[in-house]
Structures are given as structure tokens and as C-alpha cells.
């Protein structure tokens, strides 16, 4: 199964990066928060990375980390709308 993760900016620029996931090769990258069955609660650390706990879980489960530059090679059209909610 195609299971990839990548750290991408919420705005598509150089801003704060969060964890994005892709479960199928022809699907857009989506924020980890849209995958309730994979996501776990974020650590309550001031300034901590959004998605770090989920990243650790999925890495142990065999997911592949893709470099941001590779995920960006098709431009912003390969991203789904970000729906990050404050916890």
C-alpha cells in the first residue's frame, strides 16, 4: 500500500510546516488531521511540530518519509486544503 508522509507548509510557502499524508499515488497531500484513523493527539509542547506524534507512530508502522522538495515537484495543485484545528 502507498503510504507516504511529508513536512509541508500550511500556506504552500516557507511558513510553519506540518505533517501531510498521502495514501494513494494519485491523491493530493492532505494534513494529518484529516486522517482521524491514523492521527494521534499532538504533544502539548509550546512551539512543537504539528503532527510529530503522528509522524513517530506512522514511521514505526512502515510509512515512508518523502523530502519536501519531492512532494513540491508538482506544485501546489497536489495539496488538499488545510483544515488545522487548534486543540
The CB density around residue 85, as the number of other CB atoms within 10 Å, is 6
pLDDT tens-digit series, residues 22-38: 999 888 999 999 999 99
What span, in angstroms and rounded, lies between the C-alpha atoms of 83 and 31? 7
Positive or negative, the CA dihedral 67, 32, 1, 24 is: negative
pLDDT at 39 > cutoff 60: yes
Residue 68 CB: number of other CB atoms within 10 A?
Answer: 14
The three cell numbers of residue 53 are 506524534
Q: What is the pLDDT of residue 9?
A: 87
Per residue in 43-74, pLDDT tens?
999 888 899 999 999 999 999 999 988 876 65
Over range 2-18, report the average pLDDT. Answer: 84
Task: Say if residues 32 and 19 touch (Cβ distance below 8 Å).
Answer: yes
**Domain map (residue ranges) of the chain:** 4-64
pTM score over 0.85: no
Amino acid at each position: 500500500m502507498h503510504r507516504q508522509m511529508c513536512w509541508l507548509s500550511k500556506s504552500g510557502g516557507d511558513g510553519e510546516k506540518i505533517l501531510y499524508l498521502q495514501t494513494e499515488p494519485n491523491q493530493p497531500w492532505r494534513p494529518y488531521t484529516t486522517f482521524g484513523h491514523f492521527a494521534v493527539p499532538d504533544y502539548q509542547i509550546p512551539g512543537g511540530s504539528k503532527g510529530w506524534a503522528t509522524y513517530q507512530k506512522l514511521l514505526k508502522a512502515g510509512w515512508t518519509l518523502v523530502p519536501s522538495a519531492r512532494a513540491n515537484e508538482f506544485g501546489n495543485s497536489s495539496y488538499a486544503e488545510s483544515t488545522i484545528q487548534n486543540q
